[in-house]
Amino acid sequence: MITVSITRQSLEFEGRPAILGVIRDVTEFHNIKEALREQEDLFHLLIEGIKDYGIFMLDAGGRVLTWNQGAERNTGYAAEEVIGRHWSCFYTPEDVRLGKPDAALIIAESKGRCEEEGLRERKDGTRYHTDCVLTALRDSAGRLRGFACIARDVSERRILEQRILEAAEREQTRIGQDLHDSLGQRLTGIGLLARALEDKLSALKAPETEQAALIRKQLVEAAEQTRRLARGLYSADLEANRLAPALRQLLDDARLLFGVSGVLDCAADVPVQPPIVSAQLYHIAQEAIHNAVRHGHAKKIRVALASSSDGTLLSIRDDGSGLPSQLPNDGGMGLRIMRYRAGLIGGQVTVSRDPSGGTVVSCLVNGAAKNDSISGPDGQRKR
């Protein structure tokens, strides 16, 4: 069986009306057309059948062209509500003010793709974490035709990661308290006994007096080292949610341990942060200070904590050797840890060169991006 195409045309032949008929075998063309239509149907079923990922297209200006069920499930927007709108409607107002939607489009256009993870806002106003990959689409002539976006709601994963991190930090705090309250106190007590023994041996003018003095000295040093280790693991000020005093103690410890001078600039109007935010900001500062000393060989460090309409800003500025001319693709373990901690509290870490020398690490936490505002795929708020 074949597929044919029949065309006919009226004409006049030797003065009499006639009809010219043309029959063409179009079986191959028909089969190709059917195959393409079948592939298109399968592709449509594939896109619509994926409900865990939002898959949609944007035009070159960033307006939504297509919309699948996964995107509707993640955002709460139906196709007729979102097609034609700029994709910035999915971002939080704070990120829109910072220009993040347009920045992502620019990066994807220039580099071919842009991958980012951050907070997004649903139709009902709830917020969720998403992992989004934006890919530029170009025709055979190289002209930009639009963007393909694949986004996944990772709120549940982030909440689980946050709970794991909180559990690890509770264990770290417990170890720090045990070092300070148990081992530290015991070493101090043994040091006092050693001092008493040294005094007795000295009164007797015993030859073992010098050895007793050496034992006492070693015990004093061990007790001091234990206290320093405990302060690195546990901060009483941070436990009481006093971030500024905790940062000041962190700088004091850096002076004792590394011989660097530190200054804390803290504005009086900085609001009290939720415990999870204070803890992550503290650990970001701790990591930045250690990096400045170990890698930048800094001698002076200035930590600033301020509040603005955009949120709370923590910055750590040092006078070290500065950033290397070429950073590794992953940014290094320390930078990844700081960015991860910032992501848990809806913040963003940036690292830049200080024009006067050294490095500046900044973390901005949006005022509205509190931990208890994150919700899962079901739209329910998580704590």
CATH class assigned to 53-153:
alpha beta
Parallel, antiparallel, or unpaired: how do β-strands 127-138 and 144-153 relate? antiparallel
All structural domains of the chain with their residue ranges: 1-49, 53-153, 160-234, 235-383
Tell me how far apart the alpha carbons of residues 240 and 275 are, in angstroms, rounded to a whole number. Answer: 9
Q: What is the pLDDT of residue 4?
A: 66
Length of the chain equals 383
Q: What is the pLDDT of residue 158?
A: 79
Tell me how far apart the alpha carbons of residues 177 and 155 are, in angstroms, rounded to a whole number. Answer: 32
DSSP of 187-252: HHHHHHHHHHHHHHHHHTT-TTHHHHHHHHHHHHHHHHHHHHHHHHH--HHHHTT-HHHHHHHHHH
Residues of the chain with pLDDT under 70: 4, 13, 20, 26, 29-51, 231-241, 324-333, 367-383
**pTM, two decimal places:** 0.54
149 and 132 in contact (C-beta within 8 Å)?
yes
Q: What is the pLDDT of residue 380?
A: 47
Q: Provide the CATH topology of domain 235-383.
A: Heat Shock Protein 90 (3.30.565)
Tell me how far apart the alpha carbons of residues 218 and 321 are, in angstroms, rounded to a whole number. Answer: 36
Q: What is the pLDDT of residue 110?
A: 93
Q: What is the pLDDT of residue 370?
A: 43
Summarised one tens digit per residue, pLDDT across range 30-63 is: 666 666 666 655 555 555 555 678 889 999 999 9
Ramachandran assignment for 268, one of left (phi > 0), alpha (psi -120 to 50 degrees), beta (any other): alpha
Q: What is the pLDDT of residue 59?
A: 94
Residue 156, C-beta contacts closer than 8 angstroms, at least 6 positions apart: 376, 377
For the record, the structure tokens of 182 come out as 């148990």
Measured CA distances, 79 to 55, 193, 371 (Å): 12, 78, 30
Summarised one tens digit per residue, pLDDT across range 276-305 is: 888 889 889 988 998 898 888 899 999 999
